Amino acid sequence: MVLFDTNILVLAQNLDSPFYEKAIDLHHQVFEGKIKGVLANQNLLEFYSIVTNPKRLVKSLTSEKASFEIKNYVERSNFQIIKTKGNELELILNLVRGKNVKGGLVFDVYLVATMISNGIKTIYTQNEDDFIIFSEIKVINPFQ
C-alpha cells in the first residue's frame, strides 16, 4: 500500500504541469488495481486548501469543484481513506526527537504518524526532502 502525498493529487488537477500526465497515470494505476493507493483525510484537506487558492494554483478550482473531487476520492475511487487512530501525538513526539523539525513541517510528521498508525510504509511524493529523515517509511518520487 502506498500513500499518495497531496502534491500528486494537485498535479493531477494541473493541466499545465509537466508532471500532469504521470500524476494521471498513477491515479489510473490505482483505479485499475495495479497500485493499492491510500489517502489520509489530511491529504484531502491540504488538496482543498491548495486547489482553491489562486496564489497556489493559477487555474484554481471553485469550492464546489474541489468538494466534488474530494467526494470522488472518498466515494468513487479505489483509494483507501485512512483515518487517525488516536496515538499520533505520541508518535509525532517520538518522530521529531533528535530531528530539527520546525514550523509547518510538523504537518508532514503528522502524516507520517498517521501512516505508521495505519501500517503504511511507503509514500509517493514529489517532496522527498520533507520525508527522507524518517527511516520508518520508504519515500519514492515517482516523477524521477
Shortest CA distance to 70 belongs to which of 97, 56, 50, 90?
Answer: 50
Q: Which domain holds residue 91?
A: 2-140
Per the CB < 8 A criterion, the answer to whether 62 and 25 are in contact is: no
C-alpha cell read off for 55: 496564489
Pairing of strands 122-124, 2-4: parallel
Q: At what angle do helices 88-96 and 105-117 cross, to 10 degrees?
A: 120
Question: Could you report the per-residue pLDDT of 7-49, keeping only the tens digit for each?
Answer: 999 999 999 999 999 999 999 999 999 999 999 999 999 999 9
C-alpha cell read off for 62: 471553485
Question: Could you report the per-residue pLDDT of 111-137, keeping only the tens digit for each?
Answer: 999 999 999 999 999 999 999 999 999
What CATH number corresponds to the domain at position 56?
Answer: 3.40.50.1010
